[in-house]
Amino acid sequence: MNSEIKDHRVRVSKMLIRKAFTELLAIKPIQSISIKELCERAGINRGTFYAHYQDIYALRSEIEDELYTNVQNTLSPLLLPDIKVTQLEITTEIFRLLKEKSDVCTVILGEYGDKDFLVKVLELGQVVCTESNLKLYEKATPVQIEWFYAFASSGCIGLLRKWLSEDMDTPAKEIAQMAERLIASGMGFLEG
Sign of CA dihedral 21, 25, 28, 32: positive
pLDDT at residue number 189: 59
Residues 97 and 174 in one domain: yes
pLDDT at residue number 27: 95
pLDDT, block means (10 residues), the chain with 192 residues:
75 96 95 98 97 96 94 80 74 89 88 90 86 80 88 90 91 91 72 61
Residues 185 and 147 in one domain: yes
Q: Which domain-ending residue is among 53, 70, 86?
A: 53
Q: Which domain-ending residue is among 37, 53, 69?
A: 53
φ, ψ for residue 23 (rounded to 5)?
Answer: -65, -45
Which residues, including other chains, have CB under 8 Å from residue 107's CB and lie 6 or more apart?
22, 25, 26, 113
- Structural domain including 11 reads 1-53
> What whole-number distance in Å separates Cα of residue 17 and Cα of residue 190?
45
Residues 93 and 146 in one domain: yes
CATH number at residue 1: 1.10.10.60
Residues 118 and 70 in one domain: yes
When divided into structural domains, the chain yields a total of 2
Residues 110 and 125 in one domain: yes
SS3 track for 40-62: HHHCCCHHHHHHHCCCHHHHHHH
Residues 13 and 66 in one domain: no
Residues 92 and 168 in one domain: yes
Residues 48 and 87 in one domain: no
Q: Which domain-ending residue is among 53, 69, 85?
A: 53
Residues 80 and 20 in one domain: no
